Chains A and B, each alone.
Chain A
C-alpha cells in the first residue's frame, strides 16, 4: 500500500507544533550486537526496509491547516553517534528525514521524531532492521515471529492507520488535574545530555515488585515517587508542596487490539499528594496500582482519546490556519502537557526476538528525550534477562538518579551503573 503522504496521527499533531529552536520530542531505541557494525551492510538494511515501513521514511511539511508527512526523497543515511544520545533534531533536519540511524562500535541506534511513531512502533522497526542486518551480514534466515515482518509483503492499511479515530468514545474525559511538583537544576550548555543506565536482573526486579503486590512499572513508579517526595520535602515547606505524579504512557494496542505502527499511546499522570500525609513504599505501590487500574481501561482511555479526537472533527478548528493551531497547541501543551507530571517512566516491557536473532544481540536499550521543561526522564526496557533503566537529564545535578538507584540497591536489587560521561 504505497502512500505518497500521510496525515499526522492524532497523538502526533502536537509534536511539530511544540518544536522549539533547541528542543524536539525524540526517542531512541538501540540494539547492541556481539560484533562491530559494518556500516555498508547497515546502510543496505536501512534501504531494504523502506518499502515495508513507509511511514518511517518521511519528511515533515507544513500545510495551510495541518502539518503532514511526505515520503522522503533523500535516503536515510547511516551516521556515527555523538557524545550524547538524542541530539537536537531541528526543523531543517525534519524536512529531510524524521529519523536517524546511527552506529557506534557494536551498537545500532535509531532515533525517531515522536510524530512518526511511539516506542512500540519504534521497537518493531528496530527489530526488523537488526533482523535484516543479521540476515545480510551472516547470511541466515530469521523466522517471522516476535513482530519480525516479511519485507516482501506490502504494509497493511491497519499498520498505517490512525487507531485513535477508530476507538474514540462519544464523550471526552476531562483534562483538568492538579499541577505537579517540578524538578529543577542547573541547565547544561545547549544540547548536552547526561545519560545514566542502571542494569538490573529482570527476575530480581520482578520478584521484588511482586513482594509489593505490583507490576514492574508500578514498582519503579512508586520508588521514583518516593525519591521525588523526599527531594520536595527537603526543598519546599510542607504547606507549599505539590502533588508528586509520574507520567506513565499506556500502550493502547493491547487495550484495543490494534496493529498500528504509528502512534497509539496516551499518558496517565499518576501519583500522590504529600500534603495528605506520609506514604510508605508499600502504600505508594498500592495507590499507584489502584489508580493505574482505574484509568488504564478501554472505557476511560476512549474518553481520553475523544478529548484529542473531537477538536479534529470540529469544522471551525479544522479551518483555523496552522499558525493559530500551533499557538493553541503550544498553550495547551504548556498548561496540560508538562505541568501535570514530574517525570516520565516509559516502560516498553520485555522485548522478545527469535532465537536465531537473539544469538547475535546482547542487549537493547530504550531512551526517551527530555520533555520541554522537565529536566529528567526515565525509560525502561527488558531484554535477555536484564532490565535497562535509562535516566536522561539536561541538568548538572544527578540527585534524582542517585536517590533512585540507591533506593533500589537499598531494597536489595543489585544495580550496575553506566554513563555516557565516563
Chain B
C-alpha cells in the first residue's frame, strides 16, 4: 500500500500514514498489521533526586514537629519556635518545592517565593510589635516580585534580545534600590540618598552599557570574541 499524499510505501494493514496522518484504504483481505514494537511501556522512571527531595521533606516535617513539641513543653507556647516553624516552610518553598518538578517554571515559582517571604516577614513584624510591614516590607517585596517575575517571563518566553532585557533590568534595579531607600525614609525616618545613588549609578551604567552593546554591532562582536567560552 502507498500513501496517496507522500508517495511512500507503507506496511500492510496500517491504518494511516505515519508521516502525514492520511488515512490509508485497507482492502478487506489485507493481512493484519504487525506491530514492530510491543505495547509495553517502560517502568515509570523515578528520579533519584526525587527520593532526595522526599527525604528532605520528611526531615523538614520532623524538624517542624521537634521545634513545636520542644517549645510547647518548655514554654507552653511557641516563642522563638515560631520563627523556625515558619522559616522551615519558607525554606521549603524556595529550595525544595521546585525540585519536585522536572522543569520548574520560574514565572510561577518566583511569585510563590515572594508571597512566602512576605508571609514570613509579616509574622516577624507582628511578633516584634512593629508597624513597618505595610509601609516598607510589603512594597519592597512586591516590587521585587514584579521585577524578577517580569525578567523571568521575558527570558523564558521572548528568548531573544537578551542584552536589551538585562540592560533594562539593571536600570530598573537601580530605580528599585532608590525606592527601597524611599520606603525606608518614610517608614523609619532615615535620610534619603545615603546609599542608593551608588547602586543607581552602578546599575544604570551597567544597564546602559548592555543596551549600547545591543545596539552597536561591532561592540557586541568584540565582547563576544573576548568572552566566548
- Interface positions of A (Cβ within 8 A of B): 21-22, 80-85, 87-88, 90-92, 104, 176, 190-191, 194, 196, 198, 331-332, 335-336, 398, 401-402, 405-406, 409-410, 414-422
Contact = CB atoms under 8 A, between A and B. Distances in A.
A83 B6 contact: no
B40 A418 contact: no
B153 to A, nearest CB: 19
Contacts of B45: 22, 88, 90, 190-191
B75 interface: no
8 contacts: A21-B102, A22-B45, A85-B37, A336-B229, A401-B18, A415-B7, A417-B8, A422-B14
Contact of A80 (B3, B11, B20, B38): B38
A421 to B, nearest CB: 6
Interface centre among B10, B36, B40, B228 (most CB of A within 10 A): B36
- List 8 A-B pairs, minimum CB-CB distance, nearest first: A419-B18, A409-B7, A87-B42, A402-B19, A417-B8, A21-B47, A416-B9, A415-B8
Interface string B1-37: 0010011111100110111110000000000010111
A92 B37 contact: no
A332 B229 CA distance: 7
Nearest to B37: A420
Given A85-B37, A196-B19, 7 more contacts: A21-B49, A90-B45, A190-B45, A190-B102, A198-B8, A409-B6, A422-B15
B36 to A, nearest CB: 6
A406 B7 contact: yes
Contacts of B35: 422
A92 B38 contact: no
B8 A191 contact: no
Contacts of B41: 82-83
Contacts of A104: 37-38
Nearest to B160: A240
Interface centre among A87, A401, A414, A419 (most CB of B within 10 A): A419
B19 A82 contact: no
B6 A402 contact: yes
A82 B20 contact: no
Contact of B8 (A83, A88, A332, A416): A416
A196 to B, nearest CB: 5
B8 A409 contact: yes
A259 B145 CA distance: 58
Nearest to B50: A21
Interface centre among B6, B11, B38 (most CB of A within 10 A): B6
Interface of B: 3, 6-11, 14-15, 17-21, 33, 35-42, 45, 47-49, 102, 228-229
B42 A90 contact: no
Contacts of B229: 331-332, 335-336
Contacts of B37: 81-85, 104, 420
A191 B42 contact: yes
B77 to A, nearest CB: 43
A56 B5 CA distance: 44
Contact of A417 (B18, B21, B33): B18
A417 B10 contact: yes
Contacts of A191: 42, 45
Interface centre among B21, B39, B41 (most CB of A within 10 A): B41
B18 A196 contact: yes
Contact of A421 (B18, B20, B38): B18
A140 to B, nearest CB: 28
B228 to A, nearest CB: 6
Contacts of B102: 21-22, 190
B130 to A, nearest CB: 41
Contacts of A331: 229
A351 B83 CA distance: 68
A419 B24 CA distance: 14
A398 B7 contact: no
Nearest to B21: A398
A331 B229 CA distance: 9
Contacts of A402: 6, 19-20
A402 B18 CA distance: 9
A81 B19 contact: no
Contacts of B15: 422
Contacts of A194: 18
A92 B19 contact: no
A87 B38 CA distance: 13
Nearest to A197: B36
B47 A176 contact: no
Contacts of B228: 176
A332 to B, nearest CB: 6
A82 B229 CA distance: 40
Contacts of B36: 418-420, 422
A419 B8 CA distance: 12
Contacts of A398: 18-21
A422 to B, nearest CB: 5
A310 B112 CA distance: 45
A88 B14 contact: no
Interface centre among A190, A194, A405 (most CB of B within 10 A): A405
A405 B48 contact: no
A81 B40 CA distance: 8
Contacts of B47: 21-22, 90
Contacts of B6: 402, 405-406, 409, 417
Contacts of A418: 11, 18, 36
